[in-house]
Amino acid sequence: MTERHSMTRMGTMWGAGRAAREDAERSAPSWPAVVLRVLGSGLLIAIAAIHLDLYLTGYRTIPTIGWLFLLQVIVAFGLGLAVLAIPRRLAAGVPARLAAAAGAGFALATLGGYLLSVWIGLFGFKEVRTGAGIAAGVVEVAAFVVLAALALAPAAQATFPAQISPAIARAAGMTATGLAVAALVLFGLVVAGANSAAPAVTGTALKTTTIGGTTILTNAKGFTLYSFAPDTPATSKCYGSCAVYWPPVTGTAAAGQGLPGRVGTIRRTDGSHQLTYNGHPLYTYIGDSAPGQARGNNLNLNGGLWHEVPASR
C-alpha cells in the first residue's frame, strides 16, 4: 500500500514537473522572433525619425504633405512601440501578429507614397531625389521584409487563430517576398530616374508683389524670393539638401532692371551665376505652391533664418 502510494506520488510529481516544463517552453521566448521584433521596431522608429527630421526641415509648411509627414511620424512611433511591447503569448499571439502586419503595411504604403511623389507628384507636390529620401526608402523596404517575416513566423504551441497553416504561410510568404522584390526594383528605377536636386530657378525677370502689406521681390512667375541669413554678399551657404528645399535663382544682373534695389550676381560652386538683390543671394522655396504665397518667411531651417526679400531693401 505504501509502495503504491509512493508510486502515485511520484507519478503526480512527474506529471506536475512535465506540465511546468511545457509551460516554461510555451512561455520561453523564441530568439529569432525576438530578434525580428527588436529589428522591426527599430526600423519603424528609424522611419519615424527620418520623417520627423524632414518635417522639421522644410516639409511642415507644404500643404497636405506637411501634416501627412507628421501623421507618419506618430503612426511609425506607435507601431514601433507596439511591435516591441506586445508579447506573442498574449491572446495566443494574435495582437503581436496584427501589430507586425500593420507595421509591414505601413512601411509599404509609406514607400509607395514616396515613389508616387518622386514619379508623378502627390497632392500637387513633386519630390526630388535626396539622401534622406533614399535612406527612408531603403529602411522602409527592410522594415516590410522584417515585419512580414515576424507576422508570418510560426508560434510554438500556438492554437487557432494564432496558428497559420503551412499552405497559407507558404502562400503569404511568397506574396510578401514578391512584394518586397517588386518594391525594391521599383524603388531603384524611380530613384534612378528622379532629379537629384530641384532645378535652379532661372531669373529671366525679377518683379514685385504685395503680400501682407509689404512689397516684396518675386521671380518671373510671381513666386516669392527669399534671403538666407548665413549668406554673405559674395557667397551662398545653401548647398546640398538645403538647395533642394530652397532652389537658388540663377541668371544675369540685367534681370532686375527697373527695380529700386541693386541687382547683382555671385558664382556658385557649380559655376552657375546666382542673382543677388542688395547683396542678398536669392532663392525660392518648395513649400510655395502658387504665386502670392510666402510660407518660407521667418522660418529657421537648414542652418539659418529665411526672410522674404522686400523690394525696397
Helices (DSSP H) in the chain: which residue ranges? 2-27, 31-56, 65-85, 94-119, 131-152, 166-193, 241-245
Tell me the whole-structure pTM to 2 decimals.
Answer: 0.71
Cell numbers at residue 3, please? 509502495
Amino acid making up residue 251: G
Using CA atoms, how far apart are residues 280 and 259, in angstroms rounded to an integer?
Answer: 15
> What's the confidence (pLDDT) of residue 140?
94
Nearest to 286 by CA among 223, 234, 228, 230: 223
Measured in whole angstroms, the distance separating CA 243 from the mean position of its chain's CA atoms is 19
pLDDT at 81 (0 to 100): 95
What length does the chain have? Answer: 313
200's grid cell: 535652379
Q: For residue 122, what is the DSSP state? A: B
d(CA 253, CA 33) in angstroms, rounded, equals: 64
Low-confidence ranges of the chain (pLDDT < 50): 10-11, 13-14, 19-28, 91-92, 157-162
By the 8 A CB rule, do 143 and 43 touch? yes
Would you state the pLDDT for residue 44? 96
The pLDDT of residue 14: 47
* DSSP at 86: S
Provide φ and ψ at 122, rounded to 5°. Answer: -140, 125
pLDDT confidence of residue 257? 64
Q: What is the pLDDT of residue 160?
A: 42
Element (H, E) at 60: none
